[in-house]
Every structure is written in structure tokens, then in C-alpha cells.
Amino acid sequence: MSAHATLEVRLEDRSYPIHIGPGLLGRGDLVSAHLPQKKAVIVTNSTVAPLYLDAFRESLARAGVGNEVVILPDGEDHKDWQTLNRIFDALLARNAERKTALIALGGGVIGDMTGFAAATYQRGVPFVQIPTTLLSQVDSSVGGKTAINHPLGKNMIGAFYQPRVVIADTDTLKTLPARELSAGLAEVIKYGLIGDAPFFEWLEANIDRLLAGEASALTYAIEQSCRNKAVVVAADEREQGVRAHLNFGHTFGHAIEAGLGFGVWLHGEAVAAGMAIAARVSRRMGLVDDQLVKRTLSLLERAQLPVRGPALGAGRYLQLMGHDKKVEGGRTRFVLLRGLGEAFVTADVPQETLQLVLEGEGVDAA
Amino acid sequence: MSAHATLEVRLEDRSYPIHIGPGLLGRGDLVSAHLPQKKAVIVTNSTVAPLYLDAFRESLARAGVGNEVVILPDGEDHKDWQTLNRIFDALLARNAERKTALIALGGGVIGDMTGFAAATYQRGVPFVQIPTTLLSQVDSSVGGKTAINHPLGKNMIGAFYQPRVVIADTDTLKTLPARELSAGLAEVIKYGLIGDAPFFEWLEANIDRLLAGEASALTYAIEQSCRNKAVVVAADEREQGVRAHLNFGHTFGHAIEAGLGFGVWLHGEAVAAGMAIAARVSRRMGLVDDQLVKRTLSLLERAQLPVRGPALGAGRYLQLMGHDKKVEGGRTRFVLLRGLGEAFVTADVPQETLQLVLEGEGVDAA
């Protein structure tokens, strides 16, 4: 038995625990406790399977959970209907029933697709998430967002669907490429910026321990990130209000991902640049001072993240944001800062401010 | 203003009204009252569009609701991902936002697909149902079931998603082929059989008025059907318990549809034969008397419905039922009768009883 942290996400009858710490892939009992039937189909990808699948299956088997496997190709390119349908094909070919659980073992793409499959197979079957990247551990673990991409937009088809339990094993981060660890840290830093100044300060002091993969630091950072997200999600499960804060950096970030083609930049990298843009917009509007922008850029840079978007041109940025889900009544709503740990939503951003900041992306230096 | 009946389906924050009666397609105000934004995309098919689309669009426009249209090919064959994706394509091409409503104008296939599109486009947009067949008015109006078919199973991919309002205009039944009116009556009769003996008796007395298309009789039958279904759904929104009663006749019916190929028999025809089979199984098990079986078959026959399944052979029936969603722990659960208006669920049906009854389908005479 390993020591680990447990966080309860409170959503009335859809509440569930997140277990965080090293060695948890060996704890099939933590999964088993939440299954209505001791049967599961594990969905993973061709990168994660060779690393963790066998050990996890054995741990499930020890806990009495019969399991089968669907292995999908790796990558955001495959977050589409065709790949999702391979899950449905496998479930139907095996006569999977309504109480058979779907377990996502992998990063955000596997989690999003498996979650959407679980939300929609026979109109909903039990879902378990085993995120194996930092980004998915701090982002997809809380919130119940599932989706696939459409050729005309990222995450455009999906559902809100909560897992029965989430297991974040920090050991899986040992095999994560450095670039992906950094991309995950972008979302970690976001939680500090939008709502938790003390956590932002802890990150300023401990970013090097996280980059070095220290289990105790990672466990703390994941727990604080999930806790911050859980508070917001519990207040606004279906994204009608305050939950929009979680999209800090994402409106610009999605434009970057779409503009370059999905997969060129990692999601976390685009969000990092998007947060830097949002910070610059906030400063230009006189909402925050230079010092906060500097601290933000400095922490992102120490985490090996970009603090500039690519030079798409302001017009293209604005056009790409027209497809963003955060659009209402034809106007784009932005999440900005009015202080460290103080995000807010506004549609009142002067066009010339946007133009000025976005025209500078990829060009000027500060 | 036409007089009409209104029924409230109570589901906490997802409660909604069903308006039933003649002339309601002209009441765009009944739709408009439930839209968060006065914008909608109407999804209909190539059969319904020439009959009702223009008048409905005008009525929406009079109520101030801007609207666009997606016309899909007609038929259960098209209840698939490819056709669903045409809705997504249209929504994305038009930059449809999270508050733009999707309105289903058509029968069950249009309702199920449009509902699933509404449940999943951007993880959920407002949904309005305008069912134009008797079957969809009495079945899909209540319950929030949405789905598409998969090559390996009917309605295997879907979601529970509630509409904001349902409008059942009995005038649309005037253009409904007689065979489809009868198919709708199968579900109407079902409500009497499973839980409402007085309504069954009313149907015995009034079936001819319904077949003749009398508006007041239709309004009453639709209202009673929706009321019966609403009581069950309110008690069990996510189909964990008593809601299974609504599947009376459906386990056998689905086997018939799948065995013959979807679309050969209408859904309601398969359900009628399925109810007759369920009644015969109930009698063989000594749960009901000959008299009840006779009354059931007689009412179904007067409604121009089949009271025999096709001669698929008992083995094929049982195999086909293995894919049914009402399967749990590997055992098929059946909805049977123990009296008029008294359905119940059981997995304890002797194999030889099933064999005996199913072997007789399409063959013997009583």
C-alpha cells in the first residue's frame, strides 16, 4: 500500500474521488471499489500500452475485475469519429452491457474519447479515468468534459460525463517526454493565476522540483490543481458562469492550435502562449501592472513554455476565435486578469487592444 | 389561438411542457417562450419538409425566432453517424453557438438524431421537439432518449437529453400513412397494458375514432400516453428500474426488427407483435388468463397491427435478444404482465417457455 492523496469532487449523486500519488497503477482495488459489475474494457493507445497496460491489467485482475482491451493509435489526429467508433465496435462485438465499465488509460485524447464513448454507449456506462500525463491529471481529472474533434473545430462534439473514480499515478510521469511535462505545467500555473495566489507563489518556489519529477512535489501540485478546478466545477458543472475562468488562455490558445493545425503545438504550449497573451491584454487595458505580466512570463519560461503565440496576424487570430465555444450573441468573451489569482470574464475588450496585442505575437520581444 | 392540452413533465430543473392539439405548428410563440436566444436551426427530412416546413418557419418568424434549416433524407436507414454529421457540419458552417436551439421537425428518427446532435454539439445546446407522427408524439415526447444506430445494434449510441418544450400538432397526423398511424397506436395501447387499465378500456371503446383521425380523440390519447410515460420517467429518469416497463414488447420487438433488417417492419408493428409475444409468455407462465391475451390481441388487430412475429425460429430470436440493452449480468430481463395494467420485470423466464412461444411465431394461429 502506497501513501497517497485523495480528493473528493463533490457533485451530488455524481461525486467521485481522485487518488493521487506514486504506485497507484498497482492499486486495482481503488478501481474495483467503484464498479457496479466486476467487468471492464480498458481503452489505451499504442504508446501507453507497452509501458503500463500489463501491470495495470494484473492489478485489476488481482482485484477481481475481468478486463479486455482496446488499443487505439496515439495522437490528437485520431480524436475523431472513426477512432471513437473503434471503441463502439469493440464493445458491441463483445456484447458489452450497460454496467460494464470503460477505463481510460492514457492522456487527454484517450480520456476525452473514452469518456465520450462511456457517455454515449447505450446512453451511458460507468467510466473510470487513469490519466497518465500531467496535463490530463490536472485538467481532465475534474470537470467531466468529454469530446471528439470535428474537422471544423476542436472538441465540438461531446458530453458532460463524470467518472466513478480517477487514479493519477505520478510514476507514469517518469516516462513522459519533458515537453509534455512542461505542457502540463501550463495548466498547473493557470490555477495559480486565475484563483490561487499562494499556489502561484508555491510554484515560483518549487517549479524546479516539478521539472525534476519529484513525486511529493508532483502529488502536491496535482492535488492543488484538481482542488482548484473542483471548487469551480462544483459551483458550475455545466459551464454557465464561473467555470469560464478555467478557459483562461484557452480562447487564444485554441486559435493558435487551429491556426497552426492541431498537433503542431501541444495544447499546454498553446495555452501557455494564450495566457501570456491574455496577461498582455489585461495589462494594456490597465487591469494589472507590468510586474504581474513579468512574473507570469517568467514562471512560464522557467517551465520551458512559450510566452508568445505564432505570427498568425491579428485578423487571423480574430477569425479563428469566431469558432470558439466561448462565443455568445456573436461576441467573443475573454477571460482576463485583474490581479494575481483574480480572473474574470468580459466581452468588453476594445478591438484596437486585441489588434495591437495580437499583431505583436511572434514579432516583438516583450 | 387554438384550444389545446398541456402536460408538464416534471424533472426538477429539466422540467418542460408538452402542448398537444390541432393547429399548433402555427404557434411559434409556444416555442419562442423556451429559447434562451431567438435563433434556431430546424432539422427535418425530405418527406416532412414539403408538408410543414414553410408554415412552421413562418410561425417561428412571427414569434421573432430567426431560423435556418437542415433537411436530411427520410428513413431509419439514415439514423447513422454519417447523417448525424450533416447536422454538425451545418451547425459549424453557420457558426452555431451554445444557445442556438436545435428544433426537430419530424418523426422518431429526426427526433432521436436531432436530440443526440443537441446533446453533443458543443456538449449540449437547447433542444425543441415537434413530433409529426403518432409514434413520436406518444413515445419520443417524453423520456429524453436520443440515439443513433450502429451497424451492430439499434440505438446503441446516444444520450439522455431533455427538450425545452414539445409541440404535438394533431393536424400533422392527417398526412400520416395509415400504416404509421397504426404503428403509433401500438405504443398507445402499450401504456394501457402496462399501467393504465381504464385507458385500455377507453381504447377498446374509441379505437375507431383514433383510426379515423378525430382530433379530440387523438389529443386525449396522446395526452394520456404522455402522462403515463411521464409518471414512469419522472420516477426513473436514467432507466435504472421501473422505466423498464416501457420496454414491454420491445425486447421481442427489437429482435424482430433486427432479424428482418431494420425498416422491413415499422417499429410500432414490431412492438405490437412483441407485446403479443410477451402476453403469450405471460399466459404460458400462468401469470394472466386467456381472456387478457384475447383482449390484447383483439385491440391490436382492430388497430391494424400484427399479433405474430415472423418465423425466425426460437434460436434466432434468443440470439438476437443477446444484443438488447435490457441485458444484465448476461441474462435477458423480460417485461411481462401479471394483469391488465400491471407490468413487471423478471429474468426468471423458463427457457422452454421462450422456446415454445418463439418457435410458434409466424407458424401457429392463436
- Interface predicted TM-score of the whole assembly (ipTM), two decimals: 0.86
Nearest CA in chain B to A155: B122
Catalytic-labelled residue, pool A145, A154, A190, A308 = A145
Q: Any idea which of A108-122, A294-308, B295-309, B347-361 has the lowest mean pLDDT?
A: B347-361
pLDDT, tens digit (0-9, with 9 covering 90-100), for B225-269:
999 999 988 887 776 678 889 999 999 999 999 999 878 999 899
- The predicted model gives B310-327 an average pLDDT of 81
Closest CA to A305 of A230, A153, A203: A203
A228 is catalytic: no
A145 is catalytic: yes
Pairwise CB contact (< 8 Å): A157 & B93: no
Residue B78 is predicted with a pLDDT of 94
Contacts of A122 in chain B (CB under 8 A): 156, 158, 325
Band of the pLDDT at B190, cuts 50, 70, 90?
A: very high
pLDDT at B325 over 60: no
Pairwise CB contact (< 8 Å): A122 & B328: no
Residue B365 is predicted with a pLDDT of 44
User: Residue A228 half-sphere exposure, CB side, CA atoms within 13 Å?
Assistant: 28
pLDDT at A278 over 60: yes
pLDDT at A9 over 50: yes
**Minimal Cβ distance to B92: which of A85, A92, A152:** A152
Band of the pLDDT at A327, cuts 50, 70, 90?
A: low
Band of the pLDDT at B330, cuts 50, 70, 90?
A: low
Closest CA to A104 of A85, A81, A126, A89: A126
Q: Which residue has the higher pLDDT, B347 or A332?
A: B347
Pairwise CB contact (< 8 Å): A152 & B81: no
How far is residue B294's CA from residue B280's CA, in Å, rounded to a whole number?
10
Torsion over CA: B340, B346, B352, B355 (sign): positive
Pairwise CB contact (< 8 Å): A328 & B156: no
**Minimal Cβ distance to A120: which of B37, B159, B239:** B159
Catalytic-labelled residue, pool A19, A27, A154, A229 = A229
**Minimal Cβ distance to A81: which of B81, B93, B328:** B81
Buried b (16+ CB within 10 A) or exposed e, B205-238: eebeebbebebebbbbbbbbbbbbbbbbbeeebe
Q: What percent of chain B has a predicted confidence (pLDDT) above 90?
A: 81
Pairwise CB contact (< 8 Å): B123 & A152: no
- Residue entry with cell 480528493: A7
- The predicted model gives B317-323 an average pLDDT of 84
pLDDT, tens digit (0-9, with 9 covering 90-100), for A183-202:
999 999 999 999 999 999 99
What does residue B99 show for φ and ψ, rounded to 5 degrees? -105, 0
- The predicted model gives B167-192 an average pLDDT of 97
User: What does the H/E/C string look like for chain A?
Assistant: CCCCEEEEECCHHHCEEEEEECCHHHCHHHHHCCCCCCEEEEEEECCHHHHHHHHHHHHHHHCCCEEEEEEECCCHHHCCHHHHHHHHHHHHHCCCCCCCEEEEEECHHHHHHHHHHHHHECCCCCEEEEECCHHHHHHHCCCCEEEEEECCEEEEEEEECCCCEEEEEHHHHHHCCHHHHHHHHHHHHHHHHHHCHHHHHHHHHHHHHHHCCCHHHHHHHHHHHHHHHHHHHHHCCCCCCHHHHHHCCHHHHHHHHHHHCCCCCCHHHHHHHHHHHHHHHHHHCCCCCHHHHHHHHHHHHHCCCCCCCCCCCHHHHHHHHCCCCCEECCEECEEEECCCCCEEEECCCCHHHHHHHHHHCCCCCC
- The predicted model gives A129-150 an average pLDDT of 94
Closest approach of A159 to chain B, Cα-based (Å): 4
Band of the pLDDT at A329, cuts 50, 70, 90?
A: low
pLDDT at B83 over 70: yes
Residue B13 is predicted with a pLDDT of 82
pLDDT, tens digit (0-9, with 9 covering 90-100), for B273-301:
999 999 999 999 999 999 999 999 999 99
Band of the pLDDT at B302, cuts 50, 70, 90?
A: very high
Residue A328 is predicted with a pLDDT of 56
Band of the pLDDT at A331, cuts 50, 70, 90?
A: confident
Residue B360 is predicted with a pLDDT of 83
Residue B215 is predicted with a pLDDT of 95
Give kind and range of the element (H or E) at residue B135.
helix B134-138
Catalytic-labelled residue, pool A267, A283, A308, A326 = A267
- The predicted model gives B133-159 an average pLDDT of 93
Q: Which residue has the higher pLDDT, A163 or B329?
A: A163
Enter the pTM of the model. Answer: 0.88
Best of A120, A155, A324 to disrupt the B interface (most B CBs within 10 Å) is: A120
Band of the pLDDT at A1, cuts 50, 70, 90?
A: very low
Identify the structural domains of chain B with CATH numbers, from first to last. Answer: 5-175 (3.40.50.1970), 178-360 (1.20.1090.10)
Residue B366 is predicted with a pLDDT of 43
Give, in order, the Cα–Cα distances in Å from B106 to each of B89, B114, B258: 20, 10, 23
- The predicted model gives B294-311 an average pLDDT of 97
pLDDT at B32 over 80: yes
